[in-house]
Amino acid sequence: MIRVAILGATGYTALEAIRLLQRHPQATVTAVTSRQDIGKPIEAVHPSLTGSLSLPLSALDPDRLAEACDVVFCCLPHGASAQTVRALREAGLRVIDFSADFRLRQVADYEAWYQVEHPWPEQIGKVAYGLPELFAEEIAGADLVANPGCYPTSAILPLAPLLAAGVIEASDIIVDSKSGVSGAGRTPKLVNLYGEANESIMAYGVGQHRHQPEMVDVLQRFSGTGPELLFTPHLTPMDRGILSTIYVRPQGTDAAGVLQLWQQQYGDSPFVHVVDSLPATKHVSGSNHVHLAVRQCGSRLVLIAALDNLIKGASGAAVQNLNCMYGLDPTLGLER
């Protein structure tokens, strides 16, 4: 049995990770940590776990965790996460990091976008990026995996095979994404209050969202050059889900060609599905599945991707990475 610790266990993604691991036949949660709720039972913070998990929230102690666990899901914020991950790795623990601290391959890019000095810069560029559909071989041999961002997952999966084949212009990509309020986390923020978010939709982080350099960095591995990508996220009045509408210019292909490339890349994937109907967040809510569709619109192709931001965009991806790291069936703990 794989023993798993959840760090920063009071947030939404931590709760989803616990729920998924509770139904995993070869993994169990053996420790949960928090900086502010030490000593409280986990069910006091997440009442939905009452009767199914009874662990006290403890302080973060890498040496103690190394005795109780095999792998850690690190759900800490950027900056704080990297420093902690370093201590965990030195204690011999395998780590799946939910933060952005190891997703980018250049220290300068990270420090420019996140405005902090990286606590473990020598590790940048050496960490497996946690999308098994594209990087399974790297993840399988890794002791540290960078769990992808939710928005980047919705853009990278549809775009990577097309850029690799050279059938779309890398210099003209527009990613327009909508997300539910859970994407902003559990800490209260004014724009996420019911009276602010309900019956409204708003763009935010225009030209400044930190997921944009992540998209560019990962997609560059497939295009050979840094794609010119414009990303605009929107907050929508729903609990969960991401719908990304992506506008690209084809180069010698059409919608049928895109479908063929997607099928070649993801035909054996248990979680990425090419669909005929237009994807919707309801279709994938609560699952680790991604729905992809394409439409030809004049001189552009419109790619559409839908996923659950808390599952495939976070905790489900982590469980999928766990399965890949340990050579298990990728669907364990992730069945609908």
Mean pLDDT of all residues in 52-72 = 95
pLDDT > 70? residue 188: no
- The answer on 107 and 64 residing in a single domain is yes
Of 21, 6, 8, 4, residue with least CA distance to 68:
4
pTM exceeds 0.85 = yes
Burial classification of residue 126, based on how many CB atoms lie within 10 Å of its CB (0-12 exposed, 13-18 middle, 19 or more buried): exposed
User: 88, 109, 126: which is the final residue of a domain?
Assistant: 126
User: Taking the CA atoms of the chain, what radius of gyration do you get in angstroms?
Assistant: 19
Contact of 53 with 19, CB cutoff 8 Å: no
* Nearby residues of 221 by Cβ (< 8 Å), 6 or more positions away: none
Give the confidence band of 196 by pLDDT, cuts at 50, 70, 90: confident
In a domain, 183, yes or no: yes
Q: Answer with the residue of higher pLDDT: 186 or 89.
A: 89
- Catalytic residue (choose from 74, 150, 297, 324): 150
Residue 150 known to be catalytic: yes
Q: pLDDT per residue over 217-276, tens digit each? A: 999 999 988 899 999 999 999 999 999 999 999 999 999 999 999 999 999 999 999 999
pLDDT digits (tens, 9 = 90+) for 145-168: 999 999 999 999 999 999 999 999
Residue 75 belongs to domain spanning: 2-126
Q: Is residue 298 part of a domain?
A: yes
Same domain assignment for residues 163 and 122 = no
- Are 217 and 160 within 8 A, CB to CB? no
- Assess whether 166 and 280 both reside in one domain: yes
Looking at the structure, tell me whether residues 158 and 305 fall in a common domain: yes
Residue 233: per-residue pLDDT: 97
Tell me if 158 sits within 8 A of 152, measured CB to CB: no
Which of 92, 126, 160 delimits the end of a domain?
126
